[in-house]
């Protein structure tokens, strides 16, 4: 709504007004007498939503099914936390639960969150949960602090409990300071949370929380429940003197009878498996497998609920017999010298992974690397984890992912819908795969260079297939084809150390000349030039790898020069248009700056206007056949060749000497920028030994510019 409804005959320029509505202020900005922008209620929350992690809360779909304490387990720690939360007169305001991987920290936090969303006190509903955020090593959006406070602030603003109280103030904070979502974490905390109440490392987060509880007046009204591993950095942060009087802590280990809880969990889980597998339940004792076996499994778990959960998933898989699978687990023994902090868990993981066939191991580990760190290369194609996208990215037949992961449901969550994300439910499996000492032959290298080599390998495989199967292109996903064509060289160039044998073998199969003749998605001459320039770059990259010496000669043609084939059977007009396109191709290819249409127009002696040059670059590339130089030609002669035409009756071949044109292009483009008027009158003629030889041999006139 305008501030000045029905007002007449006055003008206001370049200023701002504040509309006071109740206890909220919303701003209007005037530019040149016109209302430019109105800050409307809810607009700030929209900004906040775009900078929050939707999958971080206890109720998020991305975390479904979330970890939860099994009924009847963790009763002591849950009771302690419930009493602490509901005690309004306690002296501490922060509670730290710590423990090793897999002991159930996330399950405790999830159970507490669900309990206090709507807590019943004396028969009256009383919500106490303000916000929740679950970090995850395997989720790029939840493994750092960058969006922590924006996420918490958005939850506070939209909470059924606190939203009516805080929402409008948090909304206003975003409207008044539009860049607050990109500010330092300390400033975000002050503006989005602390100020609303009064109107990036783990240590840094703990420091912010500590200061909020010790240096604010009035005291910050929220309590914090934090669950983590007892890593030195976290432990040292909690040992700060300011934490002494405000912190409670507890080790979620054997002190809370985890062995007893795990035994109960295993006993109920195995009983449920027996009921669900009718084919074998009639052949085992009712109390299968017996207390002795359960205690043996409890001992191997060493307090880790994740071990017990993985055992139950493995035994209960419908693709095997439970008694046989239990026997396999019991027969796993820790060999002498096996160096692992969790030997039984690691050996269990190895047993599960042994279901992967040897011939599938490479592709399986490649896919696991993608699942472990999707989007690490900041590439929109590589942040997807669903089976459909994985099969496209890794050039696999439809359904292959389901076959590969057929026996791995105990460590992966694999939806039936191939458009839903495959997830790794626990960090311990991620840590196992990425620790070479623990995982051995199942080690997954997720370093940037390994990722680039892995991606380039499958892009090259796709390109090789496209070259050999032109007739089947219409049955393939054109989006993945186009990505492979335009991005494979950028990934190759980032492989700096010695490439692997699979990668080298794929490169041996790739023929660049054939690639540039394949109709797989060049939407314009500009795009064709981009791919051709990438081929020139890859020639330099290959020359730095001695093991690729055998292939350098073919790639080098893109550095020294090549021939473009023009059929003589074409009508004169079509042939002339092709030659114009070749000229534009050459000069655009060599110029240091893209889209210098004026320069190309001058180099072509104004045969085309700059606008026409642009139209050519936006049009399809009309003559895709690029061939190596004639073997009789010497590369040193080609370096001074700007243009020549050779005729072999059925085809004309226009020669492109890139090194010579490159020198010319740099000279001309620099001078063009410095002296436009002089450049417009510039005429350049270059004659070469090659040009003279071509004219003598074929009776053709050399083309000069």
Question: For residue range 580-622, what is the model confidence (pLDDT) as tens digits?
Answer: 888 888 777 766 555 578 878 877 878 888 899 888 888 887 7
The whole-number pLDDT of residue 583 equals 83
Report how far apart the first and last C-alpha atoms of the chain are (Å, whole number).
64
Cite the DSSP H helix spans in 373-515.
Answer: 387-393, 400-404, 427-433, 436-439, 448-468, 478-492, 501-509, 512-515
> Which tokens in the block code for residue 24?
């909220």
**Architecture of the domain defined by 48-255:** 3-Layer(aba) Sandwich (3.40)
Q: What is the largest CA-CA distance in the chain?
A: 106
Give the residue carrying structure tokens 């042994």.
Answer: 354
Closest CA to 671 of 623, 583, 602, 570: 602
Q: Which of 61-75, 136-150, 186-200, 495-509 has the lowest mean pLDDT?
A: 186-200
The whole-number pLDDT of residue 520 equals 60
Residue 646 — φ and ψ, nearest 5°? -120, 140
Beta bridge partners of 125: 120
- What pTM does this model have? 0.63
Q: Is the pLDDT of residue 443 over 50?
A: yes
493 versus 108: which is more confidently predicted? 108
Cβ burial of 276 (10 Å; 0-12, 13-18, 19+) is exposed
The whole-number pLDDT of residue 594 equals 58
Tell me the three-class secondary structure of 174-188, residue by residue. Answer: HHHCCCHHHCCHHHH
Q: Which residues lie closer than 8 Å to 492 by C-beta, 6 or more apart?
A: 452, 456, 538, 541
Give 9-39 pLDDT, tens digit per residue. 444 444 444 444 444 444 444 444 444 445 5
Q: Which of 83-92, 119-128, 147-156 has the lowest mean pLDDT?
A: 119-128
440 to 326, 338, 349, 430: CA distances (angstroms): 24, 11, 11, 14
186 to 182, 516, 643: CA distances (angstroms): 11, 53, 63
pLDDT level of residue 663 (50, 70, 90 thresholds): low
The DSSP H or E segment spanning 97 is strand 94-98
For the chain, the structural domain boundaries read 48-255, 272-331, 339-446, 447-538, 561-698
Q: Is the pLDDT of residue 506 over 80?
A: yes
pLDDT level of residue 341 (50, 70, 90 thresholds): confident
The whole-number pLDDT of residue 50 equals 81
């Amino acid at each position: 709504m305008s501030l000045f409804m029905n007002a007449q005959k006055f003008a206001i320029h370049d200023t701002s007004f504040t509309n006071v509505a109740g206890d909220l202020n919303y701003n209007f900005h005037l530019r040149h007498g016109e209302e430019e922008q109105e800050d409307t209620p809810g607009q700030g929350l929209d900004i906040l939503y775009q900078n929050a992690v939707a999958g971080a809360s206890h109720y998020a779909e991305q975390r479904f099914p979330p970890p939860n304490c099994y009924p009847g387990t963790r009763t002591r720690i849950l009771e302690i936390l419930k009493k602490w939360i509901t005690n309004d007169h306690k002296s501490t305001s922060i509670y730290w639960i710590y423990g090793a991987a897999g002991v159930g920290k996330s399950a405790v936090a999830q159970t507490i969150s669900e309990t206090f969303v709507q807590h019943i006190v004396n028969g009256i509903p009383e919500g106490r949960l303000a916000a929740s955020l679950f970090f995850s090593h395997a989720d790029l959006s939840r493994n750092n602090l960058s969006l922590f406070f924006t996420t918490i602030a958005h939850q506070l603003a939209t909470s059924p409990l606190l939203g009516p109280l805080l929402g409008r103030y948090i909304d206003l904070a975003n409207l008044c300071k539009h860049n607050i979502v990109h500010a330092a974490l300390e400033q975000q905390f002050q503006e989005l949370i602390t100020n609303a109440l009064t109107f990036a490392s783990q240590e840094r987060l703990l420091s912010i929380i500590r200061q909020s509880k010790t240096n604010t007046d009035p005291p910050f009204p929220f309590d914090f429940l934090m669950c983590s591993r007892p890593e030195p950095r976290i432990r040292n942060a909690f040992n700060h003197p300011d934490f002494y009087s405000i912190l409670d802590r507890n080790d979620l280990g054997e002190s809370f009878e985890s062995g007893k809880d795990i035994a109960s969990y295993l006993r109920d889980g195995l009983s449920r498996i027996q009921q669900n597998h009718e084919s074998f339940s009639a052949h085992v004792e009712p109390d299968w497998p017996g207390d002795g076996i359960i205690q043996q499994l409890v001992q191997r778990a060493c307090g880790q609920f994740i071990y017990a959960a993985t055992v139950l998933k493995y035994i209960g898989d419908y693709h095997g017999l439970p008694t046989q699978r239990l026997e396999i687990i019991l027969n796993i023994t820790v060999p002498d010298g096996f160096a692992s902090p969790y030997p039984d868990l690691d050996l269990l993981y190895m047993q599960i992974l042994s279901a992967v066939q040897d011939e599938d191991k490479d592709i399986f580990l490649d896919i696991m690397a993608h699942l472990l760190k999707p989007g690490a290369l900041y590439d929109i194609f590589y942040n997807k984890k669903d089976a459909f996208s994985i099969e496209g990215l890794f050039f696999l037949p439809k359904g292959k992912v389901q076959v590969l992961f057929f026996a791995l449901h105990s460590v992966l969550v694999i939806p039936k819908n191939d458009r839903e994300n495959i997830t790794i439910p626990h960090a311990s499996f991620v840590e196992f795969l990425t620790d070479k000492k623990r995982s051995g032959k199942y080690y997954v290298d997720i370093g940037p260079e390994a990722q680039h080599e892995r991606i380039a390998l499958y892009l090259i495989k796709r390109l090789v297939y496209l070259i050999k199967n032109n007739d089947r292109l219409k049955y393939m996903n054109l989006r993945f084809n186009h990505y492979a064509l335009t991005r494979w060289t950028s990934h190759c160039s980032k492989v700096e150390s010695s490439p692997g044998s699979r990668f080298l073998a794929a490169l041996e199969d790739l023929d660049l000349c054939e690639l540039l003749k394949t109709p797989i998605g060049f939407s314009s001459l500009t795009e064709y030039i981009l791919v051709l320039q990438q081929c020139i770059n890859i020639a330099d990259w290959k020359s730095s790898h001695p093991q690729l010496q055998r292939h350098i000669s073919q790639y080098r043609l893109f550095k020294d020069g090549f021939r473009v084939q023009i059929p003589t059977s074409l009508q004169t007009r079509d042939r002339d248009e092709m030659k114009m396109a070749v000229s534009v191709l050459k000069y655009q290819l060599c110029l240091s700056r893209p889209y210098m249409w004026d320069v190309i127009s001058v180099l072509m002696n104004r045969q085309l206007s700059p606008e026409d040059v642009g139209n050519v670059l936006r049009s399809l590339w009309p003559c895709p056949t690029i061939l190596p130089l004639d073997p009789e030609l010497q590369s040193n002669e080609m370096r001074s060749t700007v243009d020549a035409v050779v005729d072999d009756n059925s085809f004309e071949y226009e020669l492109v000497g890139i090194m010579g044109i490159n020198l010319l292009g740099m000279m001309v483009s620099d001078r063009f920028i410095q002296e436009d008027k002089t450049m417009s009158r510039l005429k350049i003629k270059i004659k070469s030994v090659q040009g003279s030889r071509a004219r003598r041999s074929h009776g053709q006139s050399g083309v000069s510019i």
